[in-house]
Amino acid sequence: MSEEKKELTKEEVIVWYREQIEIATLRADLAEQQARAVRHESERLQHAVMIANIKTASGKIMGEEEQDENEQEQQKD
């Protein structure tokens, strides 16, 4: 048994190329969307770090104020 190769018609070739172009377009769009998602996730993490730094800094300031008050009370005694 020998397989015979079917010759593609012009229309079939055109359809195939259009599908390949559509697939390439979708892949490019997906890559763009993924890049955008990574960029937004990076920005979200940067903001989370900034918030953590602000909270840590404000906690240190509050701790220093309490320490100063304690020192002042001890000096009065």
CB half-sphere exposure, 74, CA atoms < 13 A: 6
Q: Does the pLDDT value for residue 68 go beyond 80?
A: no
If you search the block for the tokens 């769009």, which residue do you land on? 29
Q: What is the pLDDT of residues 17-63, one digit of tens each?
A: 999 999 999 999 999 999 999 999 999 999 999 999 998 888 776 66
Q: What is the pTM of this model?
A: 0.58
Q: Which of 21, 22, 20, 18 is nearest to 10 (CA)?
A: 18
* Phi-psi sector, 30: left (phi>0), alpha (psi -120 to 50), beta: alpha
Section 58-72 average pLDDT: 68
Q: Cα separation of 58 and 34, whole Å?
A: 36
Q: Does the pLDDT value for residue 74 go beyond 70?
A: no
Q: What is the pLDDT of residue 59?
A: 77
Q: Cα separation of 65 and 33, whole Å?
A: 48
